[in-house]
Amino acid sequence: MANKKRIKVSKKAGLPPGALLHVGTQKTQKNSFDLISYNETDLKESTSPDFAQFAQLFKNENVNWVNIDGLHNVELIEKIGKNFNLHPLNIEDILNTQHRPTYEEHDELIFFTMKISGAFENDNVTFENISLVLGKNFVLTFQEKENELFNRIKERLRAHGPVRKRKADYLFYRLVDTIVDNYYVVLDNVSDRLEELETAVYRNPTNQTHHELQYLKKNLITFRKSIYPVREAVAKILKEETSIIDKQTLRYFSDVYDHTIHIAESLETLRDLVTGLSDAYVTNINFRMNEVIKVLTIISTIFMPLTFIVGVYGMNFQFMPELTWKWGYPLIMLFMFFVGIGMVFLMKRKRWI
């Protein structure tokens, strides 16, 4: 969990609900927004328009997609929010990147915040917040920073893809679907990493291996915190059957819902596997300790009695008849040889060797 950020959440304690504050780290320098306005035959696009331009481009009969990258420009976001009649609390939610994924239905609007999964690097998944707003003829997306994820959709829009024939709700679906599908990439990476760690645990377990397993587990916990509320949110979309989303599009959301369940189940499985590996590591360590102690005991059991025997004949008593025997030395060596053999034999019977 990124503590540095959350400290900022706690800083909001005591502020009135209307207070707008960007909670999170500034991840981009960009300070502006894009607008794509399209219908089946026509598409107009503008990067970083000013507000006057914006009003011109936005067409009520088109589907309008306004995408904002970077949340540190509080003023801009407030202006856009008010322009589209967002509730003050929703504008606050957009700015708070620690917000829990949530779905809200208003009269003419749907408000949906969720997390975009970034790359899985160094056993770490980064998540970014995204807020989506769906209205009758527009979709607003507020991201922490520019993201390549949506480029494909933009390209398809420009390339007269089938999205162009549909309404704003279908664009909204495509965006949510793209974000959800992207979780599979992380799942695959995690599961590849797990196989690496599995080999390490059974072949060459070090303290580092366990550390990495713990770290992976920690990340899976964070991942779950991101995906579970998304599942709930999509379930809500399906259940509440708002008028803004067409019934036909709703059919697609039931597919998204299946994916979120599948991801959640896979996460649970991965977590079980990590826990299993963690247990296997401990058992392995125990087993190796057992082996080491066995060796110690074998060595001690053989040499302690022998060392005692040679000690006996190292004593300086004047009257020790054996010492003067001619065959004393070879006999005692032979005797010790049999003692040693006997010990090995005994331990073989106990299945230690």
Site for its own copies in 103-162 (CB under 8 A): 149, 152-153, 156, 161-162
Q: State the minimum distance, in angstroms, from the CB of residue 60 to its own copies.
A: 26
In angstroms, the CA 163 to CA 172 distance is 10
Nearer to its own copies, 136 or 152 (CB): 152
How many helices and strands in the chain, by DSSP H and E? 10, 7
> For its own copies, what does the binding mask look like between residues 86 and 105, x meaning CB under 8 A?
-x-x---------xx-x---
Nearer to its own copies, 40 or 272 (CB): 272
Name the one range near its own copies by CB under 8 A: 44-52, 122-130, 134-142, 279-287: 279-287
Find the binder of its own copies among 185, 235, 339, 344 (CB under 8 A): 185
Instruction: Kindly tell me which of 146 and 177 has the beta carbon lying closer to its own copies.
Output: 177
Provide, rounded to whole angstroms, the least separation between the CB of residue 108 and its own copies: 15
Q: In the complex with its own copies, which residue's Cβ is closer, 60 or 162?
A: 162
Stretch near its own copies under the rule CB under 8 A, chosen from 48-56, 139-147, 238-246, 305-313: 305-313
CB neighbour burial string for 166-195, b if at least 16 within 10 angstroms, e if fewer: bbbbbbbbbbbbebbeebeebbebbeebbe
Restricted to residues 239-278, the positions that interact with its own copies (CB under 8 A) are 251-252, 255, 258, 261-262, 265-266, 269, 272-273, 276-278
Residues 194, 280, 203: CA angle, nearest 5 degrees: 70
Residue 62, CA distances (Å) to 79, 111, 131, 137, 280 in order = 22, 20, 21, 7, 59
CA atoms lying within 13 Å on the CB side of residue 229? 14
Residues of this chain, 320-339, that bind its own copies according to CB under 8 A:
320, 322-329, 332-333
Give long-range contacts, CB 8 A cutoff, 24+ apart: 10-14.
12/96
Residues of span 49-88 touching its own copies by CB under 8 A: 87
**Strands laid side by side in the 110-121 sheet:** 43-47, 33-38, 63-69, 138-143, 124-134, 110-121, 102-105
Candidate list 307, 334, 335, 353; residue touching its own copies; CB under 8 A: 307
> For the residues of 298-336, what is the DSSP string, one character each?
HHHHHHHHHHHHHHHTT---S--HHHH-TTHHHHHHHHH
Beta partners for residue 131, in sequence order: 113, 142
Binds its own copies by CB under 8 A, chosen from 211, 243, 338, 341: 211
Whole-number CA gyration radius for the chain: 34
Contacts with its own copies by CB under 8 A: the residue count is: 111
Shortest Cβ 53–its own copies spacing (Å)? 30
- Contact criterion met (CB below 8 Å) for 256 and 238: no
Contact between 27 and its own copies per CB under 8 A: no
Binding residue (CB under 8 A) for its own copies from 60, 107, 239, 314 = 314
Nearer to its own copies, 26 or 206 (CB): 206
Nearest CB to its own copies, comparing residues 55 and 292: 292
